[in-house]
Amino acid sequence: MFDTLSDRLSAAFKNLRGKGKLTDADIDATTREIRIALLEADVALPVVKEFIAAVRERASGAEVRGGLNPAQQVIKIVNEELVNILGGETRELRMAKRPPTVIMLAGLQGAGKTTLAGKLAKWLKETRHQTPMLVAADLQRPNAVTQLQVVGERAGVAVFAPEPGNGVGDPVDVARKAMDEARAKQHSVVIVDTAGRLGVDEELMKQAADIRDAVSPDEILFVVDAMIGQDAVTTAQAFLDGVGFDGVVLSKLDGDARGGAALSIAQVTGRQVMFASNGEKLEDFDVFHPDRMASRILGMGDVMSLIEQAERTFDAEEAAKTAAKLQKKGGKDFTLDDFLAQMQSVRKMGPLTKIFGMLPGASQFKDQLENFDEREIDRIEAVIHSMTPAERADPNIINGSRRARIAKGSGTEVATVSGLVERFFEARKMMNAMATGKGLPGMPGMPGMGMPGGGARKAKQQAQQKKSKRGSGNPAKRAKQGKPAAPQPGELPAAFGGAGQTDGDFELPDDLKKMLGGGQ
């Protein structure tokens, strides 16, 4: 969703590279580009004006103008201001002191409230260990009750639906009865799915207010379709004035809209975005972290979210066993069965393009990510499943005749089988290097990360030798030497717009390039 905005901001920051000092002209040009980027992203005009004023004021400070690397400091300012307009700190759900906690969902028709109710229930059940119950209080939209029952079954949570819906039943009475049901069945959370409309009207407001008064919710969450642009802000403000809400949930954050709603709604309404839905599956739901979203927009990735997803997906005991295999005998104990298991675990985290997109600097190989075919993983699985246990345990025995048999069994070409075996050996070599602290092939080592013998000392000596060859850290002297200035301590990495290296210096490992390129 934020690709266009990220590209425009990156272009604005590039113009600052190599400058030893910021001038008024530099600040004007940069803030002008940022302003255009935000307006093109459909951010509300009052938010843009406030944002640009804050960036301009801070960028004009003497500590920035006198800095050696103003580009990094401007990026830091923009990042902090983005966090501010996105809501500042992460806001958690307020839980009732005495269960059940009541959460009421509201919003326009088509915003995705019913599906989001299931996502929220599943998230509460699996990450907060709650016992949620969904309440079908949308009795007007055709088959809304049935849809909620299906979603509840998929999420593995109870659904209270005493009325058939389709225009039959009183939603306020259903909400009131749901509270008695929750107390009787000892549900710790009640999630009330309410009806939406094609637009904000008096009937919607009155019904929502009546349900609110009947159940006294601990949280009222306004569900907003992130793809409707500035209209999302108008709708949210109207609902805030008419009924009131405590937090915002952005749905369809994986769409191709320009993202203005996410950047505007918290600042305009004064209510924070609490959750984000970014896919069709019930697992595609997470807490909204303003700082992480700002990092994504600026192309810095979202490593923390990636780590949290991995912790939820990977089995710690199995991961330890795999690491042990990779550290021994040069990783030769790591088999194709292990490779397949690891690949399947990664897939559980979501689409690979989404996972790689969370890595810092991913915007620099965005085209490769977009062109990556997820079906390539299915073909890899088919090829491995067509092998015998002996072949999966020792791929070295896979000769020409075996490759022909495997290709026929998996419905692929012999070249595909050969490519997979070759990439497996390369991947195993790469993972062994990482597990033993030697770094990726073709990339610097990682001193102190379990390198055998004097490895850490040797790596430190190599780093000092390289440092001595870099030349002066003074930008003026550096320019005479024809080399870019080295990043200073505490600065942002060059891949994020710093002056330490150019875009062309950022390289993916060869085996990752091959995977993204489908083995080409």
pLDDT at 446 > cutoff 70: no
- What residues contact residue 85 under an 8 Å CB cut-off, 6+ apart? 47, 50, 51, 263, 264, 266, 267
Predicted confidence band of residue 84 (pLDDT cuts 50, 70, 90): confident
For the segment 291-313, the average pLDDT, to the nearest whole number, is 67
The secondary structure of 304-371 as a DSSP string is: HHHHHHHHHHS-HHHHHHHHHHHHSGGGTT--HHHHHHHHHHHHHTS-HHHHHHTSTTGGGGHHHHHH
* 41 shares a domain with 174: no
* 341 shares a domain with 243: no
pLDDT of 19 = 67
194 annotated binding-site participant: yes
482 versus 150: the higher-pLDDT residue is 150
* 349 shares a domain with 279: no
Asked if 278 and 302 count as a contact pair (C-beta separation under 8 A), the reply is: no
Query: Which residue among 397, 421, 436 closes a domain?
Result: 436
Is there a domain that residue 50 lies in?
yes
Asked if 175 and 160 count as a contact pair (C-beta separation under 8 A), the reply is: no
pTM: 0.64
Asked if 122 and 156 count as a contact pair (C-beta separation under 8 A), the reply is: yes
Asked if 377 and 352 count as a contact pair (C-beta separation under 8 A), the reply is: yes
Helix or strand run (H / E) with residue 276: strand 273-277
Query: Which residue among 291, 319, 342 closes a domain?
Result: 291
Domain count, the chain: 4
Q: Find out whether the peptide bond into 100 is cis, omega within 30 degrees of 0.
A: yes
For residue 259, the domain's CATH number is 3.40.50.300
492 versus 355: the higher-pLDDT residue is 355
pLDDT of 132 = 96
Cα–Cα nearest to 301, from 6, 510, 5, 81: 6
302 versus 315: the higher-pLDDT residue is 315
For residue 49, the domain's CATH number is 1.20.120.140
Question: What average pLDDT does the chain have?
Answer: 75
Instruction: Find the farthest-apart pair of alpha carbons in the chain and give their distance in angstroms, rounded.
Output: 80
Asked if 239 and 194 count as a contact pair (C-beta separation under 8 A), the reply is: no
- The bridge status of strand 285-287 relative to strand 273-277 is antiparallel
Query: Which residue among 267, 291, 315 closes a domain?
Result: 291
For the segment 361-374, the average pLDDT, to the nearest whole number, is 60
- Domain with 351 in it: 306-436
Is there a domain that residue 445 lies in?
no
Instruction: State the Cα torsion 463-467-473-476 to the nearest 10°.
Output: -140
Is there a domain that residue 132 lies in?
yes
251 annotated binding-site participant: yes
Is there a domain that residue 459 lies in?
no
Asked if 40 and 11 count as a contact pair (C-beta separation under 8 A), the reply is: no
* 157 shares a domain with 277: yes
For the segment 235-253, the average pLDDT, to the nearest whole number, is 84
132 versus 277: the higher-pLDDT residue is 132
* 220 shares a domain with 166: yes
408 annotated binding-site participant: no
pLDDT, tens digit (0-9, with 9 covering 90-100), for 14-67: 777 766 677 788 888 888 888 888 888 778 888 889 989 988 888 877 555 554
The secondary structure of 61-106 as a DSSP string is: SHHHHT-S-HHHHHHHHHHHHHHHHTTSS--PPPPPSSSPEEEEEE
pLDDT of 105 = 93
Q: Looking up tokens 């000769």, which residue turns up?
A: 399
Select, from the ranges 41-45, 58-62, 403-407, 469-473, the one with the highest average predicted confidence (pLDDT).
Answer: 403-407
134 annotated binding-site participant: no
Is there a domain that residue 519 lies in?
no
114 annotated binding-site participant: yes
Is there a domain that residue 74 lies in?
yes
For the segment 341-356, the average pLDDT, to the nearest whole number, is 71
**How many Å apart are CA 65 and CA 441, to the nearest integer?**
40
* 406 shares a domain with 365: yes
Order the strands of the 101-107 sheet from edge to edge. Answer: 158-160, 132-137, 189-194, 101-107, 219-225, 247-251, 273-277, 285-287
375-385 and 336-348 helices, crossing angle to 10°: 150
140 annotated binding-site participant: no
Cα–Cα nearest to 130, from 148, 153, 156, 107: 156
Is there a domain that residue 14 lies in?
yes
* 275 shares a domain with 143: yes
479 annotated binding-site participant: no
Q: Could you tell me the CA-to-CA distances from 195 to 136, 192, 245 in Å, in that order?
A: 9, 10, 15
**How many Å apart are CA 490 and CA 154, to the nearest integer?**
46
296 annotated binding-site participant: no
429 versus 261: the higher-pLDDT residue is 429
* 419 shares a domain with 357: yes
504 annotated binding-site participant: no
109 CB burial (10 A radius; 0-12, 13-18, 19+): middle
* 366 shares a domain with 425: yes
User: What stretches of 372-436 show up as alpha helix (H) in DSSP?
Assistant: 375-385, 389-393, 400-410, 414-435
pLDDT of 117 = 94
113 annotated binding-site participant: yes
* 235 shares a domain with 119: yes
195 annotated binding-site participant: yes
Phi-psi region of 445 (alpha: psi -120 to 50; beta: other; left: phi over 0): beta
For residue 346, the domain's CATH number is 1.10.260.30
Least-confidence region, from 58-72, 238-252, 342-356: 58-72
pLDDT of 353 = 64
**How many Å apart are CA 265 and CA 322, to the nearest integer?**
45
* 322 shares a domain with 242: no
110 annotated binding-site participant: yes
Cα–Cα nearest to 245, from 90, 87, 105: 105
* 253 shares a domain with 313: no
For the segment 268-282, the average pLDDT, to the nearest whole number, is 85
Is there a domain that residue 350 lies in?
yes
pLDDT of 369 = 59
pLDDT of 437 = 63
Select, from the ranges 320-329, 454-463, 471-480, the one with the highest average predicted confidence (pLDDT).
Answer: 320-329
252 annotated binding-site participant: yes
Q: Tell me, what DSSP letter sits at residue 243?
A: T
For the segment 256-275, the average pLDDT, to the nearest whole number, is 77
445 annotated binding-site participant: no
111 annotated binding-site participant: yes
